[in-house]
Structure 1
């Protein structure tokens, strides 16, 4: 399939764009979306950009019953020079195909998907907010649409990209959050779907989040599903700890999502000659580090927030206050570096950004 085959239908009824100071997250969507069909025997076909609109699906569409769905999340940015940048979109489409493989969804052409994204962002460029900390959130996803209640991989799918202007994650500055370690429920297990970005992983995490909310905590820190001992993720983010000068993050083990922000942080740390390790880290090790005064920082990383510092960690009856509840030096450096690359104020020596 040639990239020039992407058909474009522009809206005749553009929507009113929200005020920059009224932007939330994922509530307002741009004028257009990318869509492509998969039919068994024909493969992926008919790539097109059309006006944003509702879908019409059969109630028996298999996505509603057996959860065959995957998605991604990335952002487009306006730089200080009014240029449009994408941040590592090739990695997102590569990870989407890894998720596809786990969910037995046919692989997409990553180059075609990237070309479709570039055209979509270019068409809806005026939707990218220009205030500090804002961006255009991009959500590619695939769903099984075959109308059949038999349990098997579907024969029909839709691949779509929708976009939403996103406000600043930190409106009043970066404020460390309170995290509760979950002891009863688990998010994923090795051999399951934890390393795939599929909706079921997030549904299974809602109960833990509900409990955390009820107790006044912002997120849940998940432990492994076998020994209920080793740290995996925090909420929907990867987690890092700075202990005695070394930054430690759980190694990718099959149940942890390989975060693109996570990978970026590791590369930045190495470029700054800050020791960083990817390995098993138990909650006991974190508690011991807190008790002996070597737990210096903790932070989550992800597309939405980039960095989410942890100011308090609750484990059983112990409340651990980290770095006096303030953002740490390394956390701040990582946030400033990554956002600087994304908004064009810092030179991209890693080759991560694509200019449109």
Structure 2
């Protein structure tokens, strides 16, 4: 398939790169492609960013049959534009598609279409330190039908947003709160996919955490409410003595690409790296015994997010000295240096646009 290009007649003014927030500004163009049973995926096109027109009965609005991804484009030191492990994002998008009964996309074609869109919008990729162009591929069910079944038609679109730091406080420790009142996902469900309902399910607990002065919620498993799973917008890591620990993928934890990158780098540095169950009681006991050195999260938006304070039930603990730990800093610096082309990463991690 050839991607048709219809450029906007009038372009928006570019924002001040020093004042970029996260997810509030969008570029001039987007990518769209449609699916029907008769034609399969068809009509790929780059066209002006515009509202989607849909019936009030459109199935995604009623049954949540939709999936999405998140990745970024970076301006490297030579002035070019590059992507960080984008093939993994489209691979994961198809994994989400399978769980939601959405037809698979051609991953190589989707990546090529994204690169074409980025070439059209290359002036939107910011160059100020710490900035990037956030990329949101999304697929939604579009049948105008009320009834619980998989849709017969879909829209695949990609939108772009120039962004600064995910957290307004920058690369500083955040405060997280464990919840036992709410659960986000259970094994056998869709907790390991990037689908709409997962994020809706996190809102109430997140709102309660914010009102209590915490940045995000740390989720426990949905069955025993005993084992640590992930934070609202990121996977979680613990440094206990000389061991780097992250919860194993159990079917209810999102297989984060930054998570996988941390694990790969940690192993390449000769660290003791473990993917295993870890209970919240074990975390608290490790802290009490002086063995818990650091906690940090990983995700596309923030890259690495050090945790300075953890609240569990009525107990609040300070992690380390409450400042950014050496491991969090090392991973943050290494991954960012790879993303911006300052250093060379493992083979295949960087895709030139």
TM-score category, normalised to shorter length: over 0.9
Displacement of 1:17 in angstroms is 1.0
- Equivalent residues, number: 353
Q: Which runs of 5+ in 1 are unaligned?
A: none
**TM-score, L = length of structure 1:** 0.98
Matched, 1:339 2:336: yes
**TM-score, L = length of structure 2:** 0.98
**Which of 208, 212, 216 is the equivalent residue of 1:215?**
212
**Which of 80, 95, 100 is the equivalent residue of 1:98?**
95
Displacement of 1:170 in angstroms is 5.8
Displacement of 1:167 in angstroms is 1.0
Question: Is the 1:233–1:256 Cα contact (8 Å) retained in structure 2?
Answer: yes
Q: Which runs of 4+ in 1 moved over 3 A?
A: 169-173
Displacement of 1:351 in angstroms is 2.4
Displacement of 1:347 in angstroms is 1.3
Matched, 1:145 2:124: no
Question: Is the 1:32–1:49 Cα contact (8 Å) retained in structure 2?
Answer: yes
Matched, 1:266 2:290: no
Mapping 1:114-153, distance limit 5 Å:
114-153=111-150
**Which of 153, 162, 179 is the equivalent residue of 1:156?**
153
Displacement of 1:22 in angstroms is 1.8
Deviations 1:215-236 (A, max 9, x none): 1111100000000000001112
Matched, 1:350 2:347: yes
Aligned to 1:292: 289
Moved more, 303-312 or 17-26: 17-26
Deviations 1:287-345 (A, max 9, x none): 11000000000001000100000000011111110011111111100000000000111
Does the residue aligned with 1:216 lie in a helix, a strand or coil? coil
Does the residue aligned with 1:319 lie in a helix, a strand or coil? strand
Mapping 1:1-356, distance limit 5 Å:
2=1, 5-169=2-166, 173-356=170-353
Cα RMSD of the aligned pairs, angstroms, is 0.9
Displacement of 1:214 in angstroms is 1.1
Question: Is the 1:133–1:169 Cα contact (8 Å) retained in structure 2?
Answer: no
Displacement of 1:41 in angstroms is 2.2
Moved more, 346-355 or 327-336: 346-355
CA distance in 2, matches of 1:7, 1:312: 50
CA distance in 2, matches of 1:93, 1:20: 28
Does the residue aligned with 1:192 lie in a helix, a strand or coil? coil
CA distance in 1, matches of 2:168, 2:277: 34
Displacement of 1:169 in angstroms is 3.6
Does the residue aligned with 1:21 lie in a helix, a strand or coil? helix
Q: Which runs of 5+ in 2 are unaligned?
A: none
CA distance in 2, matches of 1:349, 1:98: 24
Moved more, 13-22 or 65-74: 13-22
Question: Is the 1:78–1:129 Cα contact (8 Å) retained in structure 2?
Answer: yes
Question: Is the 1:269–1:276 Cα contact (8 Å) retained in structure 2?
Answer: yes
